[in-house]
């Protein structure tokens, strides 16, 4: 059975740079607060009406495809991870196919909804397809345009200052080289705190989960015989259409689950943290990355962080960071790369890749 290797990697971030000082003109926040709590200095925002999650993903994909030495027509499966899709449906997978101009239909497109761990989940799915021999050129994309769906008033500041737009992509192919490629992935989930990091409205839940949890919320649904609206005026008036996040709760879980799952993949392979050449954590918060680094006794040169420049781009953070590290010559043939993510769901996971 072949292993799955990353044959090409690319990333794209919008040109528009938005600094913490720019955000301060819209909400009650400070550059010091943002930097001290998250490490973020600036982020990129997509050009409204000209760029979408799909188009950013397509730009990253084109680079990855070219670096893999294939053509767009060679791609036989698309996996698109995002929490900020262009449409509720269909997903960005087919929109990316169209954007790339792939007109043949000998291809499948799958959308992954695992938020911050979308890339790790996507890699694991792609790995199974490649290993089984079903597909030879899987295009995995993580892309987000958060700037279209966050609250730029002070009410949303705990979330809004953290997020940015961007995309990363990889082309995955089979390799017969022993011990190379994706060595292992471990995936986890726990729905207990689903609403604590969530984009709840619009949705088709009609308040069900809140009622079940005994925390009934008035979403402004009309009393009708059946059906109803997934977006109400009250949701818009009360700002219920923005992401909800219990930051401290997410932080607490993240700093526990990251080291756990990283040790799990290392133990699976009989490896230790000192064997890692480069650790590329999901970029949620520089403080989270630094705490994880310390817990795992990793040196600075073993870790790649770039949240300072891009903020949290959710499904895109890992491929963007991995691509930057690769471009900087930090990822060499034979290196052991560890990627790990934690996020909404909660879902989390890690993979080890021998480059
Ligand atoms: N600017 C200024 N003040 C802000 C602010 C902002 N952007 N956002 C929140 N605050 C305020 C809060 O209102 C609160 O004020 P209060 O003490 O008067 O009530 C205070 O800062 C502290 O808020 P808290 O949420 O406890 O801060 P924190 O130290 O936990 O940092 C996060 C907040 C969001 C940076 C941090 O919890 C975090 O990063 N969590 C993980 C988030 C994450 O990773 N999300 C993505 C998951 S993949």
Tokens of 1: 């059975």
Residue located nearest, by CA, to atom 37 of ligand 1: 247
Q: Which residues are catalytic?
A: 116, 282, 312
Tell me the domains of the chain and their CATH numbers: 3-175 (3.40.47.10), 181-193+245-354 (3.40.47.10), 201-230 (no CATH)
User: What is the per-residue DSSP string for 159-190?
Assistant: HHTTB--EEEEEEEEEE-STT-EEEEEEEEE-
Mutate to test the pocket of ligand 1, among 156, 247, 345 (most ligand atoms within 8 A of CB): 247
- Helix (H), strand (E) at residue 198: strand 197-198
Residue 112: per-residue pLDDT: 98
Task: Please report the pLDDT score of residue 158 as a whole number.
Answer: 96
Pairing, β 42-44 against β 244-245: unpaired
Angle (CA) 172 175 180, round 5° = 95
236 sits in which H/E element: helix 233-237
3-state SS, residue 150 = coil
Tell me the CB-side half-sphere exposure of residue 144, using CA atoms within 13 A.
30
Buried b / exposed e along 28-47 (16+ C-beta atoms within 10 A) = ebebeebeebbbbbbbbbbe
Q: What is the pLDDT of residue 223?
A: 85
The residue contributing the CA closest to ligand 1 atom 5 is 158
Contact between 7 and 171 under an 8 Å Cβ cutoff? The reply is yes
Q: How far is the CA of 35 from the centre of ligand 1 (A)?
A: 11
Q: Are strands 138-144 and 77-81 parallel, antiparallel or unpaired?
A: parallel
Instruction: Tell me, using a 6 A CB cutoff, whether residue 244 lines ligand 1.
Output: no
* Cα 182 to averaged position of ligand 1 atoms, centre (Å): 35
- Beginning with the edge strand found earlier in the chain, give each strand of the sheet holding 278-281 in spatial order: 181-189, 347-354, 336-343, 278-281
Cα of 245 vs centre of ligand 1, distance in Å, is: 9
pLDDT tens track, the chain, 355 positions: 999 999 999 999 999 999 999 999 999 999 999 999 999 999 999 999 999 999 999 999 999 999 999 999 999 999 999 999 999 999 999 999 999 999 999 999 999 999 999 999 999 999 999 999 999 999 999 999 999 999 999 999 999 999 999 999 999 999 999 999 999 999 999 999 999 999 999 999 999 999 999 999 999 998 888 888 899 999 999 999 999 999 999 999 999 999 999 999 999 999 999 999 999 999 999 999 999 999 999 999 999 999 999 999 999 999 999 999 999 999 999 999 999 999 999 999 999 999 9
pLDDT, residue 228, reads: 84
Two tokens at 16? 């528009």
Which protein residue has the closest C-alpha to ligand 1 atom 46?
284
DSSP class of residue 303 equals B
Q: What is the pLDDT of residue 222?
A: 87
């Amino acid at each position: 059975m072949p292993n799955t290797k990353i044959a090409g990697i690319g990333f794209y971030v919008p040109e528009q740079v938005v600094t913490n000082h720019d955000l301060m003109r819209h909400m009650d926040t400070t550059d010091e607060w943002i930097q001290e709590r998250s490490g973020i200095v600036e982020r990129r925002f997509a050009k409204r009406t000209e760029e979408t999650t799909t188009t950013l993903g397509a730009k990253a994909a084109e680079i990855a495809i070219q670096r893999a030495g294939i053509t767009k027509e060679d791609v036989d499966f698309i996996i698109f991870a995002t929490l900020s899709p262009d449409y509720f449906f269909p997903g960005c997978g087919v929109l990316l196919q169209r954007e790339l101009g792939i007109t043949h239909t000998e291809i499948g497109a799958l959308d992954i909804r695992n938020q911050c761990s979308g890339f790790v989940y996507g890699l694991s799915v792609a790995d199974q397809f490649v290993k089984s021999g079903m597909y030879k050129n899987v295009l995995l994309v993580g892309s987000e345009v958060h700037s279209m769906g966050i609250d730029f008033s002070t009410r949303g500041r705990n979330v809004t200052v953290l997020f940015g737009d961007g995309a990363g992509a990889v082309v995955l192919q089979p390799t017969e080289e022993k011990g190379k490629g994706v060595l292992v992935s471990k995936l986890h989930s726990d729905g207990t705190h689903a609403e604590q990091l969530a984009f709840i409205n619009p949705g088709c839940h009609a308040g069900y989960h809140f009622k079940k949890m005994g925390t009934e919320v008035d979403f402004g649904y009309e009393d009708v015989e059946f059906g109803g609206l997934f977006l109400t005026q009250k949701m818009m008036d009360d700002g219920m259409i923005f992401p909800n996040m219990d930051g401290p709760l997410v932080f607490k879980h993240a700093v526990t689950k990251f080291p756990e799952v990283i040790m799990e993949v290392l133990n699976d392979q009989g490896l230790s943290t000192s064997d890692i050449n480069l650790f590329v954590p999901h970029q949620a918060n520089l403080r989270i990355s630094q705490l994880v680094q310390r817990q795992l006794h990793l040196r600075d040169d073993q870790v790649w962080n770039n949240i300072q420049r891009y903020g949290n781009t959710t499904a895109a953070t890992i491929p963007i960071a991995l691509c930057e590290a690769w471009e900087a010559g930090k990822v060499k043939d034979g290196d052991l790369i560890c990627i790990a993510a934690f996020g909404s769901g909660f879902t989390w996971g890690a993979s080890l890749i021998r480059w």
